[in-house]
Amino acid sequence: MKINKKRYGMVLLGLSAILILSIGFFSVLGTADIRSIDVFRIVLSKIPIIKRHISIEDLPASHEAIIWTIRLPRVLLGVLVGASLSMAGAAFQGLFKNPMADPYVIGISSGAAFGATIAIVLGINISFLNISTISIFAFIGALGAVFIVINIARVSHKIPTTTLLLAGIATSQFLTAIMSLFMVMNSKDLAKIVYWTMGTLAGKGWKPLVSISIPSITSMIIMNFFVKDLNIMLTGEESAQSMGVDVEKVKIYVLVLGTFMVSMSVSISGIIGFVGLIIPHMVRIVLGADHKILLPASALVGGIFMIFADLVARTVISPMELPVGIITALFGGPFFLYLLRASKR
Amino acid sequence: MATIEVKDLYFGYKDEKVIDGVSFEIEKGNLVSLIGPNGSGKSTMIKLLNNLYTPWEGKIFVEGKEINSFRKKELARKIALVPQNSSINYDFTVEEIVRMGRYPHKKRFQREDEEDHEIVEKAMKDTNTYELRDKAVTEISGGELQRVIIAKALAQKPSIILLDEPTSHLDLNHQIEILNLLRKLNKEKNTTIIVAIHDINLATMYSDEIFMLSGGKIVDRGSPEKVITKRNIEFVYNLPVAVHRNKYTNSLSITPLNV
Ligand SMILES: Nc1ncnc2c1ncn2[C@@H]1O[C@H](COP(=O)(O)OP(=O)(O)OP(=O)(O)O)[C@@H](O)[C@H]1O
Ligand SMILES: [Mg+2]
């Protein structure tokens, strides 16, 4: 491994610190005269007990409003979405032993978006355990897409890169097309469709963030229970089985957990591509293949990357905004091609 | 009670039969070699004995219990496998790979302790891989990797070890070293060892029993003296040979004659 096991804790601590600083930093960028530190003061002033010791009276109320009701939920949503996509990507790449397995590339994101669209269009409402109908439908749609893609891509017992990509992209395109059709017929609001299929973190507020945070974070934690199994599976499925790993079960758990965390994100932010591809890959280059560090580190780096990309999305042609999915695709597309080229060798 | 008992086993990958009605017993503490031409079903037999495939028909018993009634980890504590071709494309270190052998002994949230550490260290020392322990397995030779995989199997502390051509990538010195190690385990710990091997001369030197496979059937089995006969070898390999006793090792040797 690239780094010593004993340093794993340090690495994660360091990344967490960078993430927290980034949250402060990216929340204020693009707004005149608010300091990063004020973000933390505003947050602390909302926490019971601590708030007695924090005074934010020197801050204009408008600043507080911008940070608290607009920026902060947006940045935190970005962290959650980036972390979910990256961790799912890292886990899938290990599971399929395929460097191209990213939730977007293999059709999960489109499946989730498709499920969500159905829920919106049909106006169904069956919320469960506080998870919204849209999120539930996203999960169902994503599971369906995964099932289809894997069954098409599988050649006897293996899932080769080429068939995985072809099946994933074809399924994605097909679902996206139906989705756009539904939306055009139902809303005539093309901008909305574009933003949904390209992914955006804008204008969501606290409510959706709160509703997906517990399920997302829980599934990310549970995913880490399988790091040993995933590591052993990298040495080959038969070899893992002979070491006592319940390979088929682990596959199902990891697939369902990954699909779940991606669906939660997609149901709020739409389809944001390539994050789950770029981030785990970079982390693997620096930290090595051990899932024990790869999964949590990918989540943290994914969170940081996502809010960076979102900053670019909202500032690059300001006062207009781009869907953040365009930014991730601008980074991710060339990277994807580079990986494809590298894997040919 | 035999440690492994196989009854009327049939198996194939697609429509074609690869294992064609095989029955045998292996006593605890025996060192058994499977020999036979390419495609005769040695690897398939080894994998069936590790419950990696489900037979079409027939049953396999391990220590009297049907093989598919074991829990996965329980079986992995009894049987370890060293496959024919191991390739690992991920940069785990040698030590990390060997430590994976402890997996079946650990519950999901249980940490490795001092004992695991000692077992792993001993496994590496026994296979001459201790010096390599911090190297990435992507950066060692095929023979070194073979020894690492054997070390991992030893770390599993199994009572049965299945090896599929463990010496195929090894130089002469390491071939002998590994076979000596297997025989030592066999004698000292009474570990049952089943090894698919192409080198008949090595098989006769080390085995208590030899199973000769051809076309998915066991054509002969028994002591090296019984199985390694001119008639058997010429029949199975379709090659004229001379069988003689090697005066240095006092084991049977074969020499191909149409060279
Ligand atoms: N995964 C597989 N899928 C389909 N057929 C297979 C598979 N593995 C082996 N076979 C076929 O089963 C037969 C037996 O193969 P097996 O690998 O057991 O032979 P072997 O005795 O180990 O040969 P070798 O000496 O070359 O290792 C062969 O005809 C082979 O083509
Ligand atoms: Mg073989």
pLDDT per residue as tens digits for the range B91-140:
899 999 999 999 999 998 888 899 999 999 999 999 999 999 999 999 99
B214 Cβ closer than 6 Å to some ligand 1 atom:
no
Q: Whose CA is nearest to atom 31 of ligand 1?
A: B39
Residue pLDDT, tens place only, A65-77 = 777 888 889 999 9
Lowest mean pLDDT among A135-144, A217-226, B214-223: A135-144
Q: What is the mean pLDDT of chain A?
A: 85
pLDDT score recorded for residue B106: 93
Residue B234 clears pLDDT 60, i.e. is over it: yes
pLDDT score recorded for residue B165: 92
Cα–Cα distance for residue pair A279/A7, rounded to 1 Å? 20
pLDDT score recorded for residue A128: 64
Which ligand 1 atom lies nearest to the CA of residue B14? 4
Q: Which of B47, B76, B90 sits opposite A244 (nearest CB)?
A: B76
Instruction: Enumerate the residues of chain A whose CB falls inside 8 A of the CB of residue B70.
Output: none
Residue A339 clears pLDDT 90, i.e. is over it: no
Q: What is the mean pLDDT of chain B?
A: 92
Instruction: Enumerate the residues of chain B whose CB falls inside 8 A of the CB of residue A242.
Output: 50, 52, 76, 79-81, 83
Cα–Cα distance for residue pair B192/B32, rounded to 1 Å? 8
Q: Which of B74, B81, B103 sits opposite A232 (nearest CB)?
A: B103
Q: Which of B52, B80, B88 sits opposite A238 (nearest CB)?
A: B52
Mean pLDDT for B11-39 is 93
Amino acid, res. A285: I
Mean pLDDT for B194-199 is 94
**Chain A interface mutation, best of B88, B90, B95, B152, highest count of A Cβ atoms under 10 Å:** B90
A285 touches chain B (CB under 8 A): no
User: Are the CB atoms for B13 and B207 separated by under 8 Å?
Assistant: no
Q: Cis omega (within 30 of 0) on the bond before B37? A: no
CA A44 to centroid of chain Cα atoms: 27
Q: Which tokens in the block code for residue B147?
A: 């020894």
A241 touches chain B (CB under 8 A): yes
Q: Whose CA is nearest to atom 2 of ligand 1?
A: B13
pLDDT band at B77 (very low <50, low <70, confident <90, very high): very high
Residue pLDDT, tens place only, A133-177 = 888 888 999 999 999 988 888 877 677 777 888 898 899 999 988
Question: Residue B50: closest CA among chain A residues belongs to which residue?
Answer: A242
Residue pLDDT, tens place only, A176-203 = 888 888 877 876 666 666 677 788 888 7
pLDDT band at B49 (very low <50, low <70, confident <90, very high): very high
**Residues linked to residue B59 through DSSP beta bridges, in sequence order:** B7
Closest-CA residue to A215 (of A135, A110, A137)? A135
pLDDT score recorded for residue A130: 60
User: Environment class of residue B31 by beta-carbon count within 10 Å: exposed (0-12), middle (13-18) or buried (19+)?
Assistant: buried
- Residue B229 CA to ligand 2 center (angstroms) comes to 23
Residue pLDDT, tens place only, A84-142 = 999 999 999 998 888 888 888 888 988 988 888 888 777 666 666 666 788 888 899 99
Please give the order of strands across the beta sheet that includes B79-82. B79-82, B160-164, B192-196, B31-35, B209-214, B217-222
What are φ and ψ of residue B16, in 5° steps?
Answer: -80, 135
Buried b (16+ CB within 10 A) or exposed e, B60-86: bbbeeeebeebebbebbbbbbbbbbeb
Q: Which tokens in the block code for residue A295?
A: 């999964």
Question: Residue B99: closest CA among chain A residues belongs to which residue?
Answer: A232
Cα–Cα distance for residue pair A121/A333, rounded to 1 Å? 31
User: Are the CB atoms for A289 and B92 separated by under 8 Å?
Assistant: yes
Lowest mean pLDDT among A114-128, A217-231, B193-207: A114-128
Cα–Cα distance for residue pair B138/B88, rounded to 1 Å? 7
Topology classification of domain A73-344 = ABC transporter involved in vitamin B12 uptake, BtuC (1.10.3470)
- CB contact under 8 Å between B72 and A245, yes or no, is yes
Ligand 1 site-directed mutation target among B16, B22, B44, B52, most atoms within 8 Å of CB:
B44
Residue A317 clears pLDDT 60, i.e. is over it: yes
Domain boundaries, chain A: 73-344
Residue A1 clears pLDDT 60, i.e. is over it: no
- Residue B125 CA to ligand 2 center (angstroms) comes to 28
Residue A266 clears pLDDT 50, i.e. is over it: yes
Cα–Cα distance for residue pair B167/B121, rounded to 1 Å? 22
A248 touches chain B (CB under 8 A): no
User: Are the CB atoms for B97 and A235 separated by under 8 Å?
Assistant: yes
Helix spans in chain B (H): 42-49, 72-78, 94-100, 114-126, 142-155, 172-188, 200-206, 224-227, 230-237
pLDDT score recorded for residue A41: 81
- Residue B34 CA to ligand 2 center (angstroms) comes to 10
Mean pLDDT for B210-239 is 92
Buried b (16+ CB within 10 A) or exposed e, A238-256: bbbbbbbbebeebbebbbe
Q: Whose CA is nearest to atom 6 of ligand 1?
A: B13
> Distance, in angstroms, between B133 CA and closest chain A CA?
11
B89 Cβ closer than 6 Å to some ligand 1 atom:
no
Residue B182 exposure: Cα atoms within 13 Å on the Cβ side: 32
What are φ and ψ of residue B249, in 5° steps?
Answer: -100, -10
- Residue B34 CA to ligand 1 center (angstroms) comes to 14
List, in sequence order, every beta strand (DSSP E) within A109-257.
Answer: none
Mean pLDDT for A28-49 is 75
pLDDT score recorded for residue A230: 95
Q: Which residues of B have a CB under 8 Å from any CB of A?
A: 47, 50, 52, 72-77, 79-81, 83, 86-93, 96-97, 100-101, 103-104, 108-109, 136, 152, 156
Predicted ipTM of the assembly:
0.90
Residue A345 clears pLDDT 60, i.e. is over it: no
DSSP type of residue A70:
I
B13 Cβ closer than 6 Å to some ligand 1 atom:
yes
> Distance, in angstroms, between A261 CA and closest chain B CA?
22
pLDDT score recorded for residue B189: 87
Residue A46 clears pLDDT 80, i.e. is over it: no
Domains and CATH numbers, chain B: 4-256 (3.40.50.300)
Q: Which of B47, B92, B103 sits opposite A244 (nearest CB)?
A: B103
Amino acid, res. A81: V
Q: Which of A235, A244, A288 sits opposite B97 (nearest CB)?
A: A235
> Distance, in angstroms, between B6 CA and closest chain A CA?
19
Q: How far is CA B36 from CA A39, A155, B50, B215, B235, in A?
A: 74, 30, 20, 9, 11
Cα-based angle A163, A167, A173 (whole degrees, multiple of 5): 145
- CB contact under 8 Å between A245 and B103, yes or no, is yes
